[in-house]
Amino acid sequence: QAGTIRSEVPGPSQEHDGPESSQCSLHPFQVSFHQLGWDHWIIAPYLYSPNYCKGTCPRVLRHGLNSPNHAIIQNLINELVDQSVPQPSCVPYKYVPISILLIEANGSILYKEYENMIAQSCTCR
Amino acid sequence: KIGQSSIALRTEAPTLPLIWELLEEVPGKQQRQPRVLGHPLRYMLELYHRSADPHGHPRENRTIGATMVRLVRPSANTAMPLRGPWHIQTLNFPLRQNRVGYQLVRATVVYRHQLHLSRFHLSCHVEPWVQKRQTNHFHSTRSGSSKPSMLSKSWAEMDITQHIQQKLWNHKGRRILQLRFMCQQQKAGQVLELRWHGTSSLDIVFLLFYFNDTHKSVYKAKALPRGLAEFTGRDPPLLRRAR
């Protein structure tokens, strides 16, 4: 009964979704391997930018958020059926790898590409 | 917690790949290993800068051809008695079992092919070393893909992927690859002989193992040649899938 549901779903509004700045988005964040306690192990790079996703998920998930159908339905359930079911969460959508040069415990030197180490975009799901 | 209760963590997080790797690779803070300096580190830093930008992002046009490269230094060297113009050192490289999920794509030995000691000039090359009583033999280094390629004015690289297929067990049951670092002296001199015995080849000859992560490249992977599967300690991914 999509038509029925649609009529009951309120449109996007600043009132419900909060100001634009607090909506789900990618936040740049940089950390050094020294801060992580791995500088005795990792030689390069010195800094690591994992970034993070933060913000509230809008009640109507716009196309650009790449939310799966499930997230849209979960939003509707929270809104219309049961508020104990949480709204979707703001989490990373795409990642990129990082290349690391490190020294192993036995003295070998290792170049390695680690997948999914840097958040590149966010989604609500 | 790493290094203190790794066994407990293993049982708690058996399905987290990064946690597994950290447990295997990260030395404990208290076990701070001596810094590997000199040529091997410089070589790997150059390789790193060619393959990644200063932020660690892999370069689009990187030519490394693998997702992981391990540099292994010799664990010991022995200088042989002088044989005419030839100065020879035997180098032992300990080989370890490869981690599950990584496929060896190439193995090379990198060495200095030009040395200058006490104003003497030496031309060097590397050969596999086989003890007389050993039953397993290397193929000739002079054949096929084992001819060295010159990386720069000072470094040469020789493909030894085929050699790695050999069963290189020593009498203690460890896998050891033995290579001879041979340098030919242009002019004879006693001073140089003394210098040669004091020269450590641990810094100027090393192995490079190139691996690909089969977790993500399983569709691209080719079946391993016989012997490489033994080196990696598991079946090739394609065989495993068929089973």
From the list A97, A105, A118, the residue facing B33 with the nearest CB is A105
Q: Which residues in chain A are closer than 8 Å to B38, comparing Cβ atoms?
A: none
- pLDDT given for residue A104 in this prediction: 84
Give the model's pLDDT for residue B204: 86
Q: Does A36 touch chain B (CB under 8 A)?
A: no
Range B208-231 average pLDDT: 58
Would you state the pLDDT for residue B198?
60
Mean pLDDT of the region A14-18:
50
Residue B217 has pLDDT above 90, yes or no: no
Q: Does A107 touch chain B (CB under 8 A)?
A: yes
- Asked whether the beta carbons of residue B71 and residue A108 sit closer than 8 angstroms, the reply is yes
pLDDT score of B110 more than 70: yes
ipTM of this predicted complex?
Answer: 0.79
Set of chain B residues whose Cβ sits within 8 Å of the Cβ of A47: 55
Per-residue pLDDT band at B89 (split at 50, 70, 90): confident
pLDDT of residue A114: 92
Measure CB to CB from residue B48 to each of A38, A101, A115 and give the nearest one. A101
Query: Residue B161 half-sphere exposure, CB side, CA atoms within 13 Å?
Result: 15
Kindly report which listed range (A48-52, B80-84, B192-196) carries the lowest average pLDDT score: B192-196
- pLDDT bucket at A121, cuts 50 / 70 / 90: very high
Chain B, residues 212-231, CB within 8 A of chain A, namely 213, 216
Determine the distance in angstroms separating the CA of B200 from the nearest CA of chain A, rounded to an integer: 17
CB contact residues (below 8 A), chain B span 69-98, against chain A: 69-73, 96
Closest Cα in chain A to B71: A109
Average pLDDT, chain B: 71
pLDDT tens-digit readout, A38-74: 888 899 999 999 999 999 999 888 888 899 999 999 9
Residue B199 banded pLDDT, cuts 50, 70, 90: low
DSSP characters over chain B: -TTTSHHHHHHH-TT-HHHHHHHHHPPPGGG-PPP--SHHHHHHHHHHHHHB-TT-PBPTT----SSEEEEE--SEEEEPPPBTTEEEEEEEEEE-PPPTTEEEEEEEEEEESEEEETTEEEEEEEEE---TT-S--PPPTTSGGGS-EE-SSSEEEEE-HHHHTS--B-TTS-EEEEEEEEEEESS--HHHHHHHHH--GGGTEEEEEEEEETTT-TTTPPPPPTTHHHHHTS--HHHHHH-
Separation between Cα atoms, residue B116 and residue B128, nearest integer Å: 23
Q: Has residue B51 got a pLDDT over 50?
A: yes
B54 close contact with A: CB closer than 8 A: yes
Look up residue B93 and give its amino acid: F
Judged by CB atoms closer than 8 Å, whether chains meet at A111 and B68 is answered as yes
Residue of A nearest to B55 (CA): A45
